[in-house]
Structure 1
Amino acid sequence: MREMTIGKNDAGQRLDKFLQKALPSLPPSLMHKYVRLKRIKCNGKRCQTSDRLTEGDVLSLYINDEFFQPVKEEEAFRRITPRLHILYEDDHILLCDKRPGMVVHEDDQGTLDTLINHIKAYLYEKGEWDPDKEQSFTPALCNRIDRYTGGIVMAAKTAEGLRVLNEKIRLHQVQKFYLCLVHGTPSPRQAVIQDTLLKDSKQNQVRVVKKNTPGARTASMSYKVLQSRGKLSLVECELFTGRTHQIRVQLSHRGWPLVGDTKYGTMERNRPYGMTHQALYSYKLHFSQEGDWGELSYLRGKTFQVEDVPFLPFFYNQPKN
């Protein structure tokens, strides 16, 4: 028999979700059987897989030692010297200014030099997170942006931070603003636009389709032209949904592709400007005053903005209209 004491980062989870993370070698079918047979107890009593765990709960596990053996996974963060541009940090969350070119998670090519691995390495180096001492929690990203898009990415350092941020994003109480350079001048200069988007996962490409197309999803955002210079415009976008390539697709569909975007634009229009990737940056976040923010109540009403958007000097060097 072994015992596990539920810590702060484990609390609030269902018993089955916790066990799946803490004992990845234990098959779900056996887990349910052991709970039913009282070979897994909570505080010495019968429990259910749907029970919510609280800090200090003690699980008694009358199961074979083989299920306590960790699943061997390469922990790439241990081989990384962390390089982060930190916009904001507290006990629960981390806001990083991700530079274009870095992937947020490991991709199909097995890239290990990822934002999440740098965050893990940073927190491990600070002594704020150690996978050998955690039973189920690992730092996690709450939003993600494309490899060649830069800007603010939210990361949770604690389970409570992860729970609150995910809930606030789901309730649309975190406003995300982007700056981009587009070809032409959008008209009208300010609007809310909505489309139905269909993603081709094999091609990693998205297109606008008719409503009710199987597999398609609604995409909504607002845009505002801040300034036009030469043949380009600086546009601010606020996302109301978080679809793949959303800004790039919706603006291109209306004839205003992003500068440097070869997937949804054309080489002919991009060639004079010499940009190698889309001019798009997640530059500002606003946390709503609405609702209960729990332990993150200090974030209510706060706005965070990056200091440097790489393509702005290029834009301001364009001839005035």
Structure 2
Amino acid sequence: MKIPILYEDNHLLIAEKPVNVPVQGDRSGDSDLLTILKKDLKIRYQKPGNVYLGLVHRLDRPVGGAIVFAKTSKAASRLSDMIRRQALERKYFAVVHGTPKEKKDQLVNYLYKDKRQNKVFVVTPDHPKAKRAVLDYEIMESYKDLSLLSVHLHTGRSHQIRVQLSNAGYPLFGDQKYGEHVNKKGQQIALWSHAIRFEHPVRKELIETHSWPPHDFPWDLWETTGSNRSSGELPL
């Protein structure tokens, strides 16, 4: 499997994750992105022994797009700290059912993950295992009963975008877990990690990368993400 590399230096590797490929190994036994990239580094640089590649954040298995890895333990530690301080900015494209009432809004919820079900629920703030989740969204375009949103994550909770938008009444297109009442089996979830921006953990320069969704439905409904999309990236 050929993985597109969006940025690479001695400290970082930003790759474009294909849809339906797990970020790291799981019980399915399917090929995972972390292992694929380690093997690629080993071959490209003829490295003896084990190759270090640190996982600092994740994307859900059905989600594609930009994801950051650390090539050194120093970079991994500093990137993890950036994520804790919300200094690593992440922006997503999301296609949802319906049109949100507000063109721009911030969603704040408290989430609880049931690990047995591998499902996340919106709970009250006083829930003993509740974690605060915050995102901003902006409507970019709408077509019939679908809307294209730009989503800016402030926190990185499991399934966060999917749960929060579904709870607000706008489930993601193709999401079988949080929008089973409006989606059909076999549809691909329309959520894409579009942009990542952060200060380089060693060189301190600004790093910004962009990734675009495939030319498939429903992405091809809009000029921004479809076959006629402009070459300009969305600002973070």
Q: Of Structure 1 and Structure 2, which has the larger fraction of its residues in strand?
A: 2
C-alpha contact 1:180 1:279 (8 A) present in aligned 2: yes
| Secondary structure in 2 matching 1:84 | coil
**1:108 aligned to which of 27, 39, 42:** 27
Change (3 A) 1:265 1:115: same
Separation of aligned partners in 2, 1:119 and 1:166: 20
C-alpha contact 2:75 2:201 (8 A) present in aligned 1: no
Name the count of aligned residue pairs: 223
* Correspondence 1:32-181 to 2 at 5 A: 83-111=2-30, 113-127=31-45, 129-131=47-49, 138-181=52-95
In structure 2, the partner of 1:4 is none
In structure 1, the partner of 2:208 is 303
C-alpha contact 1:161 1:296 (8 A) present in aligned 2: no
- Does residue 316 (structure 1) correspond to residue 222 (structure 2)? The answer is yes
**TM-score relative to the length of structure 1:** 0.65
**TM-score relative to the length of structure 2:** 0.87
RMSD (CA atoms): 2.1
Q: Of Structure 1 and Structure 2, which has the larger fraction of its residues in helix?
A: 1
Whichever residue aligns with residue 18 of structure 2, its letter is R
Change (3 A) 1:107 1:188: same
Q: CA deviation at 1:129?
A: 4.0
The percentage of counterpart residues that share the same residue type is 33
Please give the per-residue CA displacement for 1:174-213, whole angstroms capped at 9, x wherever unaligned: 1000101000001111111100111110111111111110
Whichever residue aligns with residue 142 of structure 1, its letter is V
Please give the per-residue CA displacement for 1:51-105, whole angstroms capped at 9, x wherever unaligned: xxxxxxxxxxxxxxxxxxxxxxxxxxxxxxx621111111111100101010011
Q: CA deviation at 1:308?
A: 4.0
Q: CA deviation at 1:167?
A: 2.0
**2:187 aligned to which of 272, 276, 284:** 276
Please give the per-residue CA displacement for 1:4-32, whole angstroms capped at 9, x wherever unaligned: xxxxxxxxxxxxxxxxxxxxxxxxxxxxx
**2:132 aligned to which of 218, 231, 249:** 218
Structure showing greater Rg: 1
C-alpha contact 1:164 1:296 (8 A) present in aligned 2: no
- Runs (4+) of structure 1 exceeding 6 A deviation are none
- Does residue 229 (structure 1) correspond to residue 139 (structure 2)? The answer is no
In structure 2, the partner of 1:286 is 197
C-alpha contact 2:213 2:219 (8 A) present in aligned 1: no
Change (3 A) 1:252 1:280: same
| Secondary structure in 2 matching 1:297 | coil
The answer to which structure, 1 or 2, has the higher relative contact order (CA under 8 A, 6+ apart) is: 2
